[in-house]
Every structure is written in C-alpha cells, then in structure tokens.
Structure 1
Amino acid sequence: MITVAGSAILPGTVKSMTLWEEQPPFIIDAKNPGKFFDPHWNKGIGAGRANDASRPVWGDQLTIAAKICGFKYARFTGIFHDDMNVYNGGSYNWTLVDDLLDKTLKAGVKPFIAFSFFPKDIAGSDATVFSWKARVVPPTDFTKWNDLVTEFTKHIVGKYGEDEVSKWYFEAWNEPDLRTFWEGTKSQYFTLYKTTVTAMKAVTPKCKVGGPATSGLSGDTQGAWLDEFLGYCKQEQLAVDFVTTHPYPADSAGKPRELGATAKDLAALRNTVSRNFPQAEIFVTKWSTSPVASDAVRDDLPAAAFIVKENVDSIGLVTGMFYGSFIDGPEELKDTFHGGQGLMNASGIAKPAFHAYRMLNALGEELLYNKDGIVVTRHKDSKKITAVLYNIPATVTSGVSGRDQAGVNSLRSQGDTKLYSFKIQNIHPDARFNVDCLTKEDGNAIVQWTKAGSPDPLTRDQVEIMKQVGMSVNGEQVLSSATGVLYIEKNLAPWDVVLVDELPK
C-alpha cells in the first residue's frame, strides 16, 4: 500500500501515540542537497555481432529498447568479420556496414564499434573459432589492417560527417586476454591497438578510440593486461580516449562472486585508469549476471533486483556499463527462454531485466538516498521525485548466477516479504505518481509461459500475447498531500522491484 500523507495508517499508529513516537517512519527531505551523478546504466547496450542487424526484428527491437530504457549507444563486434563482406583481396565493400550503421542511427542510438574480427585475407591463419567462424589469429604484418581501418574511417567520415563520427566510439577488439578471441600474444595486441588508433586519428583526430576490452579485472592475467596496456600506451604516447573492460560478478564458469563485487571492481578500475590516463572515460562494455552463454536467472525476476542493486551501488565509478545485449542472439539456443544474454528473448518478449533498465532510466540525476533497497532521486531540472525499491533477501550474500531453472525457482522462493515504510517531504503538492510493481506474477514472462505449459516454439499469436505479458506490470497511481508529503508503505515479496515515479504537471 502506498498512501497519501494525512490518510496513512502506519504500523503502530492506530491505538498508541507512544508506539508511534518509538517507531516513526524515517524521513527523506526532497529539498536536501542531492549528490549529482551522470547515469551510467543508459549509456549503452550490447547489440551482438554486426551481422545480427540483418535479422528483420533487430532494428525494431533496438528502437524499443532505446526508447523505453533510454540507451544512447549500441555496441557490436564483428564489423570486419567475413559475413560482413568488407574486404576481399584489397577491395572494400561497405554495403552491409552502411546498413548496420543506418539501422543503428534510425533506432535513435549511436554506434559503439568493437573492431573485430580479421577478414580471411588479413588473418594470420585459416583457423576459425565458433560456429560462425571468427578469425582471431593476428597477421604477422599489420599493413593490411592499417589500410582497412584507414579506408573504413574515410568512408564513414565521408558518409556521416566528421562531427557525427566524433560522437561514436571505436574499441580495439574484444577480450584479447582470452585465446577464444585472440590467438596471439599480448605484444601483438598492443601492435593492433597502435595501428588502429594511429590510422583513425590520421583521418579524423576527433574520433574516440580505446580498449582493451579485457574479460575482467580479478585475477593476475586480466589485471596485468590492463596495467601493461595503459603503460604501453603512455610510453608510446598513444591516445586512449576511453578504457574498457568486462568485470563480471561471476567467474568464467558462472559461479557468483560476493554481492557488491561490481562496485569493488569499478573502484579498482577507476584508480588504475586515473594513474595513467586521468581524462579517459571508463566503460564496462559487456556486463551481466555472469559471462556464460546460458544463465537461467537472466530470464527471471531475481536478475532484475540484482541489476538494480549492482548499478545504483556503482554510481559515480564509471561512464557507462552495458548489459550483454538488448535481445537474445541468433547463435544462442533456440528455446523460447534459455538464459540468453538479452533483455528480450529472440522474439522480442521482455524479461524482468528489461524492466530493471526501464526503471533505472526513470531515475533522476540527483541522488537523495540509497540504502537497504531504497533509492530516491530528484530530477535536476523539473525537481520531480523518482524512487526505486527492491527486495534482495538478507540471506543472499553473493550474485545470482550459476543455477539451472530449478535453482532459480528455489532462489526466487528464498527470503521474506519486507515492509518498506518511509515518507518523502517537501515534494510538489498534490503530485501524481505512477507506481509500477515488478513481481513474480507481473512483468515476469517466463513464469506465465511456464504456467501455460512452456509451449515451444510459440505461434505468432502466442508471441504477441507473450509480448504483452512481458510488458505488463502491476500499476497504480497515487497522490502526495496538499502539503507536499508522500507516505510510502509497501510490502515487497523477495526479489520484487517497484518504481515510484512522479508525473509531470
């Protein structure tokens, strides 16, 4: 229950003023100085491989994600992969690249391009990885790579203009510390970075180039990569406009780390970058519950509460942190729900994680309160108030990954319902608030799909029904008092997430 001040009946106030005085709700003053922050959760979103844009639903679903969740950039790998047909024996073809970039811009976001993989005629061997045959063996001579990057840069500047391209980001490779993505030495990667940044800056000095997009921060291998990369760039006087890495809250097998691991990683990352390139932006260009391809919790409610907590606790530590993808990829398992990396499944059915980013996007830019599952913000210009509440059970001390669906069901049932009781004062009088409740039954498509017998594949009509189910949360509207006070008294079941958002007058 969320009630208007003056008509609220709070626990202990009905019969005893003494008990009221002993157990008052705590007060958040909307006129208190807030901590200004630049939201990092809506800076960008993963968009899979470049060739995924050829899917009919790709552009439409990216548009939906950008509009509702506020994403400003879409990151994709594989722009030079063979399936993009960009390079053949020294000749260049930008047809599919243009289509990708046009669809991205049409969706209302800007490109965040991770340069990869090697075209067949540039790669150092015929060896490939993955079913889609990525070439990750670097050449012994980077001359052809230099020419490819140069011609690509000339093309996009010529088509889209230097001012527009200067707003894009260009990331040198993806996770070169893993042999899965880079079957070369660390020194060879440094050469690739030097070649890439030098080639691009020669065409347009205003472009933003960075890296190294390593797979994490914990552990000697990843940490050494980042330190050595920054040291190398400093020694060679190479530009590093932004630094990227992928610090997952779970290990490579999906075993969760401690709750709050993301903020600890980002604090360490920020210190490392500040020592070397203090002006560089910092991006986590791939993040999720875990790095594994299929993680059942990503389809279910606990992921949403986890996403909210890890993000709000990382305020001020990073420029942007991109969730794995806005939509499940075509190379993933074909089941309707399989723990894929998207905020939506392959058919565009929203998961609870989608709502987590929708709710985060609604928050203001001034933080008034963030503790014990209560986040209260004020919008800088309008001064309206937006809050998010979430209930992660006290017994949960680690991340939420590493479980099959039965394990996720068990996780969802852990913990107790929790009462959130407080008041916000000095807000706009008679202000109207939308209250959206994300619960096990509301906005959690996989639960409703399971109740329906887990039909797979879905018919076209079933897909449309499930899209509506995925987007449907339990909503209501409430008013503040004439004196500008709002009591909030709400019971949240384990893993519930609630958005309280003041509407404009």
Structure 2
Amino acid sequence: MTITIRADAADPGEPLAHFWSVCVGAGRAGEGLRAAWQEQLRTAAATCGFRYVRFHGLFHDDMFVHHRGADGSHDYNFQYVDELFDRLLDAGVRPFVELGFMPGDLARTKNTVFWWGAHGSPPTDLGAWAELVGRTVRHWVDRYGVDEVRSWYFEVWNEPNLRPFFDGTRGEYFDLYGTTALAVKEVDRHLRVGGPATSNFVPDTRFDGEREDKTAHATVTEAEDLRALEWRPVWVEAFLDHCASLGLPVDFVSCHPYPTDWALDSHGEGAHYTRGADATPRDLAVLREIVDKSAFPQAEIHLTEWSSTPSPRDHTHDHLPSATFVVKANVESIGLVDSLAYWTFTDVFEESGAGGSAFHGGFGLINFQGIAKPTFHAYRFLHALGDELVVRRPGAVVTRETATGRLTALAYHYPPEMPYSVPLSTPGRDVVEATLALGSPEVLEIELTGLPAGATVTVEILEPGSGDALTAWRELGSPDPLSREDIAFLREAAAITRTEVLRADRDGGLRHTRSLPPWSVVLVTQRPVLGAHQPG
C-alpha cells in the first residue's frame, strides 16, 4: 500500500472546522488551582489550539461553593471558582462548564466515585440545587459580563448512566436536567445548555433501559462479531424525546464515544473488548443522524470526553499508537461533530489517586512532570492544518490556509494488521509493545504543484525515537523517580522530532518519496521549521 499526498495549490477547497481543538478535558476543578496544571494548560492551548477546557467537580466540597450553615441556611462562596476561572480566561481558554457533582450538604448519597470522593448523587432538594445553579451562573455574568458567559457551554452532569457518577435513575437525571436547564436559562435565555453527557456507545437499543448501571453482556464469541454490531449512544434518543415532550431547551447534545466495549460499572473494571479502528467515525455518524432526525436538528454536537480507552492506567496513552489513533480518528470524523474533546491534556489527574510513576499510562497529552507524549504532537499536527480541506484520501489529508494560500498536509500509517482501535495495555506495557511491533513500512509519496518557485516545505515525522519520551527515558536507564536533571533532559528530548526541509523546483513542483514506519505520523508544511515544541 502507498500513502499519497497529492494536491495543487490552486485546487478548490471547502471549509474545514478544527473540531479537535475546540475543547480538551481535565480531571477536576480543584486540580486546576495548581501551578503545574495551569502551566500545562497554557502550553496545550498555545501549541495545540484548545479553546475550552472541561472538568469535573465544580461543586465538589473542595471548591467550597456551597455549604449549609448551622441554622440550615444555604451559604455560597465563589473565591476558589473565581481564582480558577480568572486564570483560565487569562490564558485564553474558556470553561466548558460541567454542572456537577453534588455538594455534600445537598447529596442524597456521598463518596460514590473517585479517590477524591465525588458525590455522584441526585440532590435531596431540587429547589436548592436550582438555586445553587442560578446563583453561580448569575455570579459569572456579574463578574465576566453576559457576552462572555454567552460564549460558554453548560453541560448537565457527567455520565449519569453509570451508577458511580449518578446514584439515581434515568428519570431522576431527566428531572435534574430540566431543573438545571431552566435555572440556566432563567439567568439569560441565550446561555447554551445541553446533555445528557452519557458514557459510551452500546450494542443496539436493547440496553437503553431505565437503569444502566450493570455491565451489559451480549452473546459475542469472536472479536470480529463486535465490529459487526450496531452501536448506539446511551440515553440520547430518550433524552431528546423527553426534552421535546416537555419543551425543554437543548442547545447541544453531548456523550462520550470511547471506542471500547459497553458502559462499564466503573472506569477500568468489567470486560474489556476493543472495537474496530473505525469505531469513532461510525459512532459520530450515528449520533449525527440521530440529532438530525430529532426535534433539535440545529443542536450542536459536543463529545465532551474521548480517548483510545477510558482507563487512566493504560500504557498505550504514553506510546506512539495512541497518537496515530488520535490522528486517524479525527481525520476520518471531519464534518460529523462540533467538538471531540480529548480526555485529558495533563497527568495532573487523580481519579484513581496519584500515578505511581512518571509514565503510568495516564490520559494526559503531557505527563505530571511536564514531558510531552506523542499524543501532544498529534494534536499539534492537527492544529497546524489549514482552514480549507483540499484533499482527503485513505491515510492522508491536504489543507490550505485561506489567508496565505499555503498548503499543509497530514499523513499517518495505521497498519492494517491492527483492524481494531488500539487495545488497552494494563497493568504492564506488554500489549502496547506487541501493538508497536505490528505492520511493515509503507511508501509515502508527496506530490505538490502550484507552489511558489523554490518554496520551502518542511516534513516533520512522529515515529519511534522521534517525539517519543519513552525511548529517551529508556536510554537514560528508565530512572524512577525522575531527578530534576532527568526531567529537563526528557522535556527537551520529547520535544524534538525528525524534520526534512525540501524545496519546490522552479516550476513550483515538489516530489518526494520516503519509507513510512508503522504507527508514524507525518506533517508537511509550506513553512520553515519553527523550533522546539516544549511543554512548560
């Protein structure tokens, strides 16, 4: 197989929305008060283009937004939230507000999920919850101005179909959504609210019942059968029908299309199956069709969590195959959604407590010590694409920048020997090491015409040993813990990728052929090398 990048600078194009860089995830609000979290967010936003960030725990007890006084009064304190949101906005990033979890003084049940004890619970008093939401949103309007807050999104809860995250029924979530959405709209009708923020897609609609807190079981004897099943988003159709029947607002639809098995009892537990490599674009096409046929066809679609797997201890997240999967899935999903938010930008993340080592398989694009992973480069490459789509073919895409006319192309070698999404690798690296060994080199052909005579074209390659922190770490002898000198060395090593500088001929043509190893990603830009890309 040959992967081909072929285009003329004058070829017609169509608008290309960078849905991959609209939003990125993070763990919880309290973590956002830390210096490393804030530094890494600034780096990710500046280098990968992220414009919004979403996180759990806005109303968790460690943010001190709500507590009940000795006399039974409801007291509010926005100092910690103000500190966090001020710093987000100063960094040029807006909040994609997840309204949850429940403050302890309003929670029916407590400490249902995560090391930090989130209260995944319906409120004991819906009226008190509505008051909390309304006071919080009014505070933001007063502090930042209504025009600014109108640019935000308000998502009701997180994965309410999973019992650790919501210890209630589907009907109770629908009641919570309606109460919350109306409380937001009472502040200003132009504020954008949506849901249901449910976890995962499941085989057909038979699992879309009233309570989906148990691991779904289907009679599947071969992995191939998993790819043949029809997968549907959990609760979304029922949610849209419910909102339409009651006249509730839905400005956007959200869910979490992890390319894994079915909704699990909790992240990382239950049966693990890996779906086809095309699971993400297939799921997004299904969701697009559902929304288009609903009573809310104009609703935006925001997939507010997504990664190769939903485990914060999957060593694939530290390796090259995860980056290649990110590029492949996003390129193949062009035109289907308004955002697909990677979970997460940082390993400053404590759902399961602190990671036991620098490279523990955390979700982050950047590890705890500020060292870039291959997925960081994947999003940097995607961000470098232009705003016009010129060519899209298997394994490659060519774009143009409207303002300058410059071409940018992206190619990836996701080996056909892996017909599935990259599989989970836990507790060790054995699975991802076997995944890396799959496949053989392919030929990459680059043929560009219509360039300015002598134009400089840079070919940047993400491959084993290039933009690859783990290889550099192993060359150091795999130290654990990392010394300050180790961290400085690995930050620099992880930022370096192989580059070649080519020039167009006097007729504005450029032809180049090279071998492309399995799992590699190539960025071709009509511009000079811009230097190191190093997280702070």
TM-score (norm: length of structure 1): 0.92
Alignment of 1:336-415 (within 5 A): 336-403=358-425, 404-415=428-439
Indicate whether 1:486 and 2:510 are aligned.
Answer: yes
Indicate whether 1:428 and 2:452 are aligned.
Answer: yes
In structure 2, the residue matched to 1:275 is 293
In structure 2, the residue matched to 1:15 is none
Q: CA deviation at 1:254?
A: 4.5
Compared with structure 1, are the counterparts of its residues 169 and 34 closer, same or farther at alpha carbon in structure 2 (3 Å cutoff)?
same
CA distance, structure 2, for counterparts of residue 356 and residue 402 of structure 1: 19
In structure 1, the residue matched to 2:320 is 301
In structure 2, the residue matched to 1:74 is 53
In structure 2, the residue matched to 1:14 is none
Alignment of 1:154-193 (within 5 A): 154-193=138-177
In structure 2, the residue matched to 1:464 is 488
The one-letter code sitting in structure 2 at the alignment partner of 1:229 is F
Contact 2:109 2:167 in 1 (8 A): no
Q: How many residues align?
A: 482
Paired residue for 1:249, among 259, 284, 289?
259
Moved more, 68-77 or 29-38: 29-38
Deviations 1:192-242 (A, max 9, x none): 111111111111112111111110223333745111111111111111111
Compared with structure 1, are the counterparts of its residues 254 and 354 closer, same or farther at alpha carbon in structure 2 (3 Å cutoff)?
farther
In structure 2, the residue matched to 1:288 is 307
In structure 1, the residue matched to 2:85 is 101
Alignment of 1:113-128 (within 5 A): 113-128=97-112
Q: CA deviation at 1:332?
A: 4.0
TM-score (norm: length of structure 2): 0.87
Moved more, 147-156 or 444-453: 444-453
Secondary structure at the counterpart of residue 344 of structure 1: coil
Contact 1:218 1:247 in 2 (8 A): no
The one-letter code sitting in structure 2 at the alignment partner of 1:250 is T
Secondary structure at the counterpart of residue 195 of structure 2: strand
In structure 1, the residue matched to 2:521 is 497
CA distance, structure 1, for counterparts of residue 91 and residue 292 of structure 2: 34
Deviations 1:238-292 (A, max 9, x none): 1111111101112255532101110000000011111221111101110000112
Alignment of 1:216-235 (within 5 A): 216-219=200-203, 220-221=207-208, 223=233, 225-235=235-245
Secondary structure at the counterpart of residue 476 of structure 1: strand
Paired residue for 1:238, among 231, 248, 261?
248
Contact 1:127 1:137 in 2 (8 A): no
CA distance, structure 2, for counterparts of residue 455 and residue 83 of structure 1: 34
In structure 2, the residue matched to 1:205 is 189
Paired residue for 1:50, among 26, 29, 42?
29
Secondary structure at the counterpart of residue 358 of structure 1: helix
CA-atom RMSD in angstroms: 1.7
The one-letter code sitting in structure 1 at the alignment partner of 2:247 is Q
Paired residue for 2:198, among 203, 208, 214?
214
In structure 2, the residue matched to 1:9 is none
Q: CA deviation at 1:385?
A: 0.3
In structure 2, the residue matched to 1:477 is 501
In structure 1, the residue matched to 2:465 is 441
The one-letter code sitting in structure 2 at the alignment partner of 1:443 is G
Contact 2:423 2:431 in 1 (8 A): no
Contact 1:336 1:345 in 2 (8 A): yes
Indicate whether 1:260 and 2:278 are aligned.
Answer: yes
Q: CA deviation at 1:127?
A: 4.8
The one-letter code sitting in structure 1 at the alignment partner of 2:258 is Y
Q: CA deviation at 1:301?
A: 0.8
CA distance, structure 1, for counterparts of residue 525 and residue 446 of structure 2: 16
The one-letter code sitting in structure 2 at the alignment partner of 1:235 is S
Secondary structure at the counterpart of residue 434 of structure 1: strand
CA distance, structure 1, for counterparts of residue 527 and residue 190 of structure 2: 40
Contact 2:5 2:411 in 1 (8 A): no
Unaligned 5+ runs, structure 2: 69-73, 209-231, 265-270, 530-536
Deviations 1:386-406 (A, max 9, x none): 011211112110011222412
Q: CA deviation at 1:429?
A: 2.7
CA distance, structure 2, for counterparts of residue 273 and residue 180 of structure 1: 27
The one-letter code sitting in structure 1 at the alignment partner of 2:527 is L
Secondary structure at the counterpart of residue 253 of structure 2: strand
Deviations 1:116-136 (A, max 9, x none): 111011111345332211111
CA distance, structure 1, for counterparts of residue 528 and residue 404 of structure 2: 8
CA distance, structure 1, for counterparts of residue 438 and residue 454 of structure 2: 38
Contact 2:460 2:500 in 1 (8 A): yes
Paired residue for 1:60, among 32, 36, 39?
39
Q: CA deviation at 1:504?
A: 8.0
Deviations 1:406-439 (A, max 9, x none): 2212211211111112411122332212221111
Secondary structure at the counterpart of residue 490 of structure 2: helix
